[in-house]
Chain A
Amino acid sequence: MKLQSEHFRENLPAFLNNRQLRQNLAHATRTVLARRQALVAEIPDWEARRRAAYRKKKALLEDWDRQLAVFAEQAGRRGVQVYRAEDAAQAVALAVEIARRHNVRQVIKSKSMLTEEIGLNEGLAAQGVEVTETDLGEWILQLAGEAPAHLTAPAIHKSTEQIAELFSRKLGRPCPADPQELTRIARDHLRRKFLQAQMGISGANFAIVEEGAIAIVENEANARLTVSLPPVHVAFIGMERLLARRQDLALFLPLLTISSTAQKLTSFVSYLTGPAAADALDGPRHVYFILVDNGRRRMGRDARLRQALYCIRCGACYNACPVYQTIGGQAYGWVYQGPIGAVITPELVGLERAQQLPFASSLCGACSQICPVHIPLHELLLYQRHRIVAAGLTPHPERLAMRLFGWMFQRWDRYSKAFAWLHRLPWQRLAGSWSRTRRLPMLARRAFRQRAHSLFPRNRPQ
């Protein structure tokens, strides 16, 4: 996926001025948040579960190297071929190599943000391999030639009418604006692709260390078909996806499904333990796990940013974020969006290219409040701002202004004098960007501290 986050500000008006987009987003996020809230209300120990999940992830990543080694060893024992990819290029090269090894011309793919992150589809297409997205939302976007706008609901920004129009245009026949009918059309189209493909590609929601297995969570059965129909399966696994034990799923699965799609459990959870036995009727004969780093381990070395690796990619922070609700995911200009995206994108693509994102937040804390694994997201946004400043990436006038602030506000007499002087400036004109849409308050003729003399004649505690 093409990185656009350095153009965040320039791209913003296109999203802000798109009334239809804002309506779609407001409707979709409000609906899912209300349903989620209703489910959470049924779980008295929800808060305790969030904290338990945080603790489990923390413990696991403190022992990361060993856990990764055990996972790889256990998977290998079941006949999975496990690879590690340091970066995106290596991960794509591995996929290309596996496709070549098995003479693959057509690939079906279930939803995976990691493969978006590493640009897998483009990499395979460049080698003449046809990739078909089989998640309905992802397929819609593949038809539209767009990037996903959400972690779990990639086409959240599109209305049914817009999707019907897209199908009609791309498939060359009129398609009605009826969700059921549109789904049927997609199913007919995709079923053929499922039967033709020589290789399936998936992500992994959870990688279970003790068994070397992966769990894939979905509602459309497309992931189930992706892992079971083609003879070859490749799963891309972010190195941080680990859970220690299968029984941890009892904690993490509902945290994920309630937070993402407001379901107690999704329709399907597939558990892939390795290649099918020789006498099995179906299932892949060759299974590959590719553990992708791509900046994760560097992020993990910073004790604070490591918390962002606890993320289970539910997208609840997107839904709860008033900025996301206003501009949608594509505005962020990369795969990961919303609050968690603004925290991790600078780590994955470089501080410099994503430096605007941590500032595009009102720091309201709705993200931290909703995160099912208790990541203090808005505090991490603050931390990223600090890192961006420390790296010297902010504009010179701003640095100067802040230095002046520090000096001026360090002493009350300086502060008083400075404000007396500020009175003489055309204050209203200085804040043009503010006052275009909002009335700016006037500096008071006499500050409170000047009135305090008369209010408190003897202003000292006894």
Chain B
Amino acid sequence: MRMTVFAPLMCLLAGAAPAALLLAATAVPAQAYVGPGLGLGAASTALGVVGAILLGLMAFVWYPVKRLLRMVRRAGRSSAGRKP
């Protein structure tokens, strides 16, 4: 059972490892240097976008769900209080 689960993974690793070695052996300099100013700017832009998404999730999802839960709880409490 365990062999059948791991067999595709082992095949994948057996194929990927030589490919990775070949790529590492034939790599040329990437010439993708980013200076500190551009790097920090890009990082802070990405952090800003992520923060905006998190804040938007909080504003558009968390608070309405919280309000809904509170309303449901309040409705349940009031209906339980009315029953004899």
Tell me, yes or no, whether A binds B: no
